[in-house]
Amino acid sequence: MKHYRKILGLTALGLLFALNIYANHVDWIQINGPITPVTVKYIDDAIKRAEKHDAVCLVIQMDTPGGLMSSTWSIDKTLLADHVPVIVYIAPSGGRAASAGVFISYAANLVAMAPSTNIGSAHPVSMMGKDSSKVMMEKVTNDAVAHIKGLAAQRGRNGEWAEKAVRESVNITEKEALELGVIDLIAKNGIDLLTQLDGRIIPFDDAEVALQTENKEIKIHGMNWSYKILDKIADPNIAFLFVLLGFAGIYFELRNPGGIFPGAIGVMALIVAGFAFQVLPINAVGILLLILGVAFFILEAYTPTFGLLTTGGIISMSLGAIMLYRTPDIRVSTSVWIPAVIFFGLFAALIAILAYRAQKAKVSTGNKGLVGEKGEVVTPLKPEGQVAVHGEIWKAISEENLKKGEKVVVEDVEGIVIKVKRVKR
């Protein structure tokens, strides 16, 4: 069985080599900024496109200050899968590959740098997104060291320097990187890069592929509008706020049916949040807790428990905000979720109070609305007569005889007859 697998593997790589000869273009993407979940999807789609369209290779031009650890690890796994030759090109001049950029560079098949660029400073503190205890940071650092040493071993790069970049945040120029075996070449521009890449051997699992890049067409695939929008709203804090806005709109619509506008805003906000959640590592428990919190607020408005359900709603939404994302380096900031949950809770409590007052308020419409109103006797009540209330003449009865002109108050209404009594002075 293993023998057949090896034959199939060699056949597949032979086909890849043949396609590499006849392919006539190089795919090119650019990363300028932090490494985020959107970057993961951008690179993953680029690799699939390059493989589908038989590109000679994929060049990732990169200038990054770092990014999220979970996103970096995901990109590394994709690059190590060896679907298509991937070259990381740290450019333009003045650019850098810091923190997460170091790990991504080490995961690529080949690495090039433009003049006046640098690489290094890969200590994981800048990738965690929050402060951690000394013990936790030591664990994270050791994990990052093991990860990058594994990358170095698989790609044949300087593992000793990689460990220093993680533990000591060392940083080097492109010339030093070439001398130390951190990168493979220095290229002035894209044409120079393809010229130097031509003929380079890319080792795969069971064979080697020679790049045929000289004079090949460069196809640049920038971020389309969906990536750009997603990049803006994929911030964990913004996505969380969109969820709350969506729940608030739907909650207000349920409390005031027919408003339409709040409900429409709520639905649109949830759709936008769902768009962001395509790339964020969402925890279903966190979403359920947020929904449960909103349910508590709605129940408080219909069955007042004098703050008990509101308190439960605030606690549930707080836990939902904390548990909304699966990875520790992607989280909702406390400076965002605490004020947001408190505001939502106060808003829901205000609605509940108004609803409770409305339920307890005296009826002010219809015949029952006359109860408690004052009037004046028009014809003597012995015990029946007529009384003027709100400018209207009503047939009235009383348990006591009342003279014309006396002031009375309505006690009850039975059909078109009101029951009154004398107003005590």
- pLDDT tens for each residue of 181-227: 999 999 999 999 999 999 999 988 777 889 999 889 999 998 888 77
Same domain assignment for residues 299 and 332: yes
> Which of 69-73, 112-116, 249-253 has the lowest average pLDDT?
249-253
Res 60: pLDDT: 97
How many separate domains does the chain show?
3
Give the residues across from 385 on adjacent strands. Answer: 396
> Which of 147-151, 270-274, 329-333 has the lowest average pLDDT?
329-333
Same domain assignment for residues 381 and 320: no
Is this prediction's pTM over 0.95? no
Res 2: pLDDT: 46
Same domain assignment for residues 217 and 298: no
Rounded to an integer, the average pLDDT of 330-350 is: 82
> Which of 145-154, 201-210, 247-256, 338-347 has the lowest average pLDDT?
247-256
Distance in angstroms between the alpha carbons of the first and the last residue of the chain: 108
Same domain assignment for residues 77 and 219: yes
Among 206, 223, 240, where does a domain finish?
Answer: 223
- What separation in angstroms does the CA of 85 have from each of 28, 101, 156, 207? 12, 18, 15, 13
Residue 280: DSSP 8-state: S
Among 167, 196, 223, where does a domain finish?
Answer: 223
Among 317, 342, 360, where does a domain finish?
Answer: 360
Map tokens 């109070």 to a residue: 353
**Domain containing residue 176:** 2-223
Same domain assignment for residues 234 and 219: no
Res 19: pLDDT: 45
Comparison of pLDDT for 129 and 118, the residue scoring more: 118
Res 1: pLDDT: 47
Output the domain CATH number for residue 211.
3.90.226.10
Same domain assignment for residues 328 and 187: no
- 148 CA to centre of own chain: 28
Same domain assignment for residues 113 and 167: yes
Cβ-proximal residues to 314 (8 Å cutoff; 6+ apart), any chain: 293, 341, 342, 345
Res 131: pLDDT: 46
Same domain assignment for residues 113 and 27: yes
Same domain assignment for residues 143 and 158: yes
H/E element holding 51?
Answer: helix 37-52
Same domain assignment for residues 211 and 299: no
Classify residue 128 by burial, with Cβ atoms within 10 Å: 0-12, 13-18, 19+.
Answer: middle
Same domain assignment for residues 182 and 239: no
Instruction: Calculate helix-pair angle for 284-302, 334-360, nearest 10 degrees.
Output: 20
Q: How confident is the model at residue 35 (pLDDT cuts 50, 70, 90)?
A: confident
Same domain assignment for residues 112 and 146: yes
Output the domain CATH number for residue 406.
2.40.50.140
Rounded to an integer, the average pLDDT of 250-261 is: 73
Number of continuous H segments (helices) and E segments (strands) in the chain: 15, 16
